[in-house]
Amino acid sequence: MLITMKRTRWCGWRLSFTAFVVVNFLPGGYSDSDPIENCKPKGGETILCNDRTEICRKLNLAVIYDVENYCSKGEVPYFNPAFICNCDVICVGALEEGAECSMNFANDYPKDLCGNGLDCISNGRTYTCQRNHMKPCVNRTIAYENAAADGMLSPGLLLPACSDIGKYGPVQCSTSSTCYCTDTDGNRLFGEAAYTEKDAMDCQCSLHWQRNDKLGLTEGMRCLSNGNLDSLQCNEDFCFCYNSTKKAIDQGPYHPTMMKLLDCYNESYHSPNYTNPCTVAEQLYLQQNPEDADSIAIGISLKPNCSLDGFFAAIQSHEENDFICADSNGKQIENFQFSVAEKPKMTCNCARRRHVMRQAGLDAFLPECCPNGNFKSRQTRGLYSFCVDGNGDQVGEAKYATEDIDCGGDCVE
Ligand SMILES: *[C@@H]1O[C@H](CO)[C@@H](O)[C@H](O)[C@H]1NC(C)=O
Ligand SMILES: *[C@@H]1O[C@H](CO)[C@@H](O)[C@H](O)[C@H]1NC(C)=O
Ligand SMILES: *[C@@H]1O[C@H](CO)[C@@H](O)[C@H](O)[C@H]1NC(C)=O
Ligand SMILES: *[C@@H]1O[C@H](CO)[C@@H](O)[C@H](O)[C@H]1NC(C)=O
Ligand SMILES: *[C@@H]1O[C@H](CO)[C@@H](O)[C@H](O)[C@H]1NC(C)=O
């Protein structure tokens, strides 16, 4: 049974277990004999420089796994420009907001730099460390703080999680509803969980797939529904435990028949053949429709839409020309349904958030959805009403619920 298990999206990469796993997802561009040449930036970040770990190893430089936590408190990392791919990191003093800073250290290492989240910005003559309003994530943080200071902090306002350089961090949480994964520009990626589970969420698998999709790779690691990497990873030949903090294999490889002996095998979550419900349904569909995997089957079954965790995606074909918003087991959520004509605008983000919140017992503030599963443009929670974006997060200012508020249309499109 296991030997005949079909290759799935996350299976079948050419594993060499001695190397860093992610290297195996890179196309054949990497050359042992000339790593430096391959690593020169081509208009920004190169594919290979994304894999700093492996490059630094080749250059016999220290591999710093966790740059964010590398320096002590009161220090920030400075990437030594003398080494390619930011291979060498030194820690320098962190300046506080408002402190004077310098942009001119061409001949020497800087002694200190603006602390995390701050940029060295000109105030006419002098430069000081400031939060950069031009960065959307920073701007939104400031809007949140201003609302709090004005006593207008409605529960729909997102306190965004920004990275040290002011881009969006991977996990965004809406107060007392759900957290979801985003790219650095704040665009939604796969992965959502109840707000109460936010501490466990890192979205590393969603980021891994974003990178793979950019590179045109169709194989990679399997995710959990919250966007984290599943610590158990299997292909048809091997299973192993992967530790996403260490970015390394903790245990294995084992033959798939011995999967259960791995410490990361979780009886309540993993099936003995490492398949999940949508993958099973997809394999069945492909067996019934071997000729044309992309056509809509007539009279047999509809092609399941699987997500990166092997469960069902939010949007599923229903009857001819119809779609439903589904839970991760493929079951319709409430009555959410829409036609093929509406599909380009549909996300089912509201339907899914309602479902995830219900599952977690967070029934008090369920968002209001349109019949097609998108958010209603105007949401009311407690004393406040506000307009929301496609993720259900507040845009603009909140008003008292008794006041009029124009959100431009009933449903967010
Ligand atoms: C920053 O946010 C304000 C609202 O708080 C908005 O008017 C402004 O356009 C934003 N600026 C940028 C650069 O996004
Ligand atoms: C992963 O590695 C980190 C750091 O070495 C360790 O603290 C953590 O317990 C490991 N996680 C698992 C699930 O083994
Ligand atoms: C196994 O998975 C369940 C549900 O995902 C989780 O609650 C539990 O803590 C996990 N057990 C171990 C030993 O990791
Ligand atoms: C894998 O196991 C699950 C349940 O344990 C079962 O429903 C499914 O049919 C199995 N799939 C394969 C390909 O053996
Ligand atoms: C599958 O689901 C995703 C996420 O809900 C959606 O973006 C995509 O359009 C769906 N694909 C099909 C073919 O319905």
| Distance (Å) from CA 287 to ligand 4 centroid | 15
Alpha carbon nearest to ligand 5 atom 11, residue? 305
Q: How would residue 11 be classed by pLDDT, with cut points 50, 70 and 90?
A: very low
| Cα–chain center distance at 121 | 30
pLDDT reported for residue 295: 54
Atom index in ligand 4 nearest the CA of residue 277 equals 7
pLDDT reported for residue 291: 66
Q: How would residue 194 be classed by pLDDT, with cut points 50, 70 and 90?
A: very high
pLDDT reported for residue 10: 30
- Tell me the per-residue pLDDT of 17-71, one tens digit each, with 9 for 90 and over: 222 223 222 222 222 233 344 444 444 444 445 566 666 777 677 666 666 678 8
| Distance (Å) from CA 325 to ligand 5 centroid | 10
| pLDDT higher than 60, residue 362 | yes
pLDDT reported for residue 248: 87
330 lines ligand 1 (CB under 6 A): no
pLDDT reported for residue 396: 87
Query: What residue type is 84 in one-letter code?
Result: I
Tokens describing residue 334: 């409430």
Question: Of the ranges 54-63, 223-232, 236-245, 403-412, which one carries the lowest mean pLDDT score?
Answer: 54-63
Give the whole-angstrom CA distance, residue 24 versus residue 14. 6
DSSP string, 181-207: EE-TTS-EEEEEEEGGGGGG---HHHH
266 lines ligand 3 (CB under 6 A): yes
Q: Percentages helix, strand, coil for the chain, rounded to the nearest 5?
A: 20, 25, 55
Residues 6+ apart with CB under 8 A from 186: 136, 137, 160, 168, 172
| Distance (Å) from CA 267 to ligand 3 centroid | 8
| pLDDT higher than 90, residue 170 | yes
For 297-314, what is the mean pLDDT?
Answer: 83
Q: How would residue 286 be classed by pLDDT, with cut points 50, 70 and 90?
A: confident
pLDDT reported for residue 17: 28
Give the whole-angstrom CA distance, residue 359 versus residue 351. 12
The dihedral sign for the CA sequence 208, 210, 213, 218: positive
Give the whole-angstrom CA distance, residue 335 versus residue 113. 54
Residues in the chain: 413
For 243-260, what is the mean pLDDT?
Answer: 90
pLDDT reported for residue 76: 87
Percent of the chain with pLDDT over 90: 51
Burial of 215 (0-12, 13-18, 19+ CB in 10 A): middle
- Tell me the per-residue pLDDT of 376-387, one tens digit each, with 9 for 90 and over: 999 998 888 999
CA angle 382, 383, 388 (to 5 degrees): 75
pLDDT reported for residue 309: 96
Give the whole-angstrom CA distance, residue 99 versus residue 117. 14
Alpha carbon nearest to ligand 2 atom 12, residue? 243
State the ligand closest to the CA atom of 229. 2
Alpha carbon nearest to ligand 3 atom 11, residue? 266
